[in-house]
């Protein structure tokens, strides 16, 4: 067979999210779309805000000269200036345009950062449960993923981090608000992690970089605000995208911001720009860079996701299913009524409810439900949750 053994192996083990999504398509064909409740995929349902569409229309109707051409591989300078100014006001960090690399989403940004940072065999630590693509992204660049468990309430567990971070650790990935748990890390826990990492960096003889993979940083509930990723630790890179906050997941636009206090700030600017080019992205999509630059403050209406969270939580309460109330993002990570999360997923599927097993995120005994769906879908699915939980109890 022509396919690499490793890729073949990864494809068979990988992506419960995709498996469930495909199962959803099959079930919809079999029993009708209105009878299937698909909570498997985090595909934003809210349309991009009017402010964004206005800028985009103007660019299409009255295009600036050369709008579709190549530019420097990090992106347009004026775009990066606007992003740096926005982020500086938002986080308090003294970012410059040169610290910003425009990328093909947060996924593109993660690959760019890891390519710039990893030598073969270097370790990347992720906190479980975690976005499953991290394992493949680390492997793309010769890295090895190591897993630190989070605490029972999904907050950072310092003892676990202490145990898992070693001399070969180059990167710690933090994702807050978190996919799949909706947990947001507190400023205090980030501070304590930062202190641990300073000690670990000295022991390792190189700075360990924290990559904050935060595409949900604007999607936070109950008036909360995500703490600045740069405040707690100097060697930090922030990744984000407009997939979720502007509803542009298909357009592949985001950016990386190198913390101004990173020991290798200047070298990282060059290395990540090089990686953006040589990974074949070349540069982030030109039109969308320019359109998002004008609307850095904007987002889809977050209250709409908060309402969906509240509706779903009330339904799970009624079904007697335990969960921790998400502080942000658009996922719930409830506890399975039985130890085997695959069994819970199967029983839900018999009621045409599609969920992703927690095992796919490195935490057995839980399931992930994405609530970027309509109110009607949540409402109509709730009797199924109640019956499934009662059956298993």
Ligand X SMILES: Cc1ncc(COP(=O)(O)O)c(C=O)c1O
Q: Which residues bind ligand X (CB under 6 A)?
A: 42, 105-107, 131, 175, 179, 213, 215, 241, 243, 249, 254
218-229 burial string, b = 16+ CB within 10 Å, else e? Answer: bbbbeeeebbbb
Residue number with CB closer to ligand X (131 or 312): 131
Rounded Cα–Cα distance for residues 121 and 137 (Å):
14
Query: Shortest gap between Cβ of 156 and ligand X (angstroms)?
Result: 16
Residue number with CB closer to ligand X (215 or 328): 215
Residue number with CB closer to ligand X (131 or 230): 131
Rounded Cα–Cα distance for residues 202 and 118 (Å):
18
Query: Shortest gap between Cβ of 41 and ligand X (angstroms)?
Result: 9
Query: Shortest gap between Cβ of 375 and ligand X (angstroms)?
Result: 22
Rounded Cα–Cα distance for residues 80 and 221 (Å):
28
Residue number with CB closer to ligand X (258 or 319): 258
CB atoms within 10 A of CB 392: 15
Query: Shortest gap between Cβ of 168 and ligand X (angstroms)?
Result: 24
Residue of minimal CB distance from ligand X?
A: 105
Coil, strand or helix at 254: strand
Residue number with CB closer to ligand X (275 or 388): 275
- Contact indicator for 97, 145 with CB cutoff of 8 Å: no
Residue of 289, 371, 365, 364 whose CA lies nearest to 330:
371
State both tokens at 114.
């890891």
Residue number with CB closer to ligand X (251 or 352): 251
In the chain, DSSP finds a helix count (H) and a strand count (E) of: 13, 12
CB half-sphere exposure, 273, CA atoms < 13 A: 18
Query: Shortest gap between Cβ of 213 and ligand X (angstroms)?
Result: 5
Query: Shortest gap between Cβ of 136 and ligand X (angstroms)?
Result: 12
Query: Shortest gap between Cβ of 97 and ligand X (angstroms)?
Result: 21
Residue number with CB closer to ligand X (173 or 389): 173
If you write DSSP's letter for every residue of 261-306 in order, what string do you get?
T-TTHHHHHHHHHHHHHHTT--SS-HHHHHHHHTTTT--S-HHHHH
């Amino acid at each position: 067979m022509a396919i690499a053994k490793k890729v073949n192996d990864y494809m068979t083990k990988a992506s419960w999210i995709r498996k469930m999504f495909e199962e959803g398509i099959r079930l919809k064909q079999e029993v009708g779309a209105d009878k299937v409740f698909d909570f498997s995929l985090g595909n934003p349902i809210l349309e991009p805000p009017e402010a964004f569409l206005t800028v985009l229309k103007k660019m299409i109707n009255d295009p600036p000269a050369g709008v579709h051409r190549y530019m420097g591989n990090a992106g347009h300078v004026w775009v990066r200036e606007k992003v740096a100014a926005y982020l500086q006001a938002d986080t308090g960090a003294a970012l410059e345009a040169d610290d910003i690399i425009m990328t093909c989403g947060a996924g593109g940004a993660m690959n760019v950062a890891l390519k710039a940072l990893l030598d073969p065999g270097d370790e990347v630590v992720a906190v479980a449960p975690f976005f499953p693509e991290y394992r493949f992204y680390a492997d793309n660049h010769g890295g090895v993923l190591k897993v630190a468990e989070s605490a029972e309430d999904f907050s950072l567990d310092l003892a676990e981090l202490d145990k898992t971070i070693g001399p070969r650790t180059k990167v710690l990935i933090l994702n807050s608000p978190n996919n799949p748990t909706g947990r947001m890390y507190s400023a205090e826990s980030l501070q304590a992690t930062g202190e641990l990492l300073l000690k670990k960096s000295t022991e390792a003889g190189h700075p360990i970089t924290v990559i904050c993979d935060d595409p949900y940083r604007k999607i936070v509930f109950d008036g909360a605000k995500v703490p600045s990723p740069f405040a707690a630790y100097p060697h930090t890179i922030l990744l984000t995208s407009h997939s979720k906050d502007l509803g542009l997941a298909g357009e592949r636009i985001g950016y990386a911001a190198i913390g101004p206090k990173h020991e290798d700030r200047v070298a990282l600017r060059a290395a990540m720009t090089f990686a953006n080019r040589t990974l074949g992205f070349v540069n982030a999509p030109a039109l969308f860079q320019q359109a998002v630059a004008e609307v850095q403050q904007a987002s889809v209406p977050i209250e709409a996701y908060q309402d969906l969270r509240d509706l779903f939580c009330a339904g799970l309460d009624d079904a007697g299913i335990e969960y921790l109330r998400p502080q942000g993002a658009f996922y719930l990570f409830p506890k399975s009524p039985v130890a085997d999360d695959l069994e819970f997923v199967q029983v839900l599927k018999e009621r045409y409810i599609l969920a992703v097993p927690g095992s796919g995120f490195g935490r057995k005994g839980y399931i992930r439900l994405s609530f970027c769906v309509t109110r009607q879908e949540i409402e109509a699915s709730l009797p199924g949750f109640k019956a499934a939980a009662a059956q298993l109890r």
